[in-house]
Amino acid sequence: MITYPLLPNESSIGVTAPSSGVQPELHDHLKQSIRQVEAEGFHLISGKRLGRSERQSQQTPQHVPVNLTI
């Protein structure tokens, strides 16, 4: 079994958004989760895009190069 060290109270935890973003229907769940982590005594540091729902990692078809010859 893997055991991880416990974080001391008032530790900071960084959270980034997934590349697909957080869908609007999950925003309430996200906010509740953030409140719960903070209620446990941790400081949450969130990425700028946490809570946004636009995709950031995939290019749209018009931006993908057509000729990729090597």
66 located within any domain:
no
How far does CA 52 lie from the centroid of its chain? 10
The mean pLDDT of 8-15, rounded to a whole number, is 90
18 located within any domain:
yes
23 located within any domain:
yes
28 located within any domain:
yes
Q: Which domain holds residue 20?
A: 12-57
Average pLDDT of the chain is: 76
40 located within any domain:
yes
For residues 52 and 55, which has the higher predicted lDDT (pLDDT)?
52
The mean pLDDT of 39-61, rounded to a whole number, is 70
> Residue 26: pLDDT band by 50, 70, 90 thresholds?
confident
H/E run at residue 45: strand 43-46
Domain count across the chain: 1
7 located within any domain:
no
- pTM assigned to the model: 0.60
34 located within any domain:
yes
67 located within any domain:
no
pLDDT of residue 57: 52
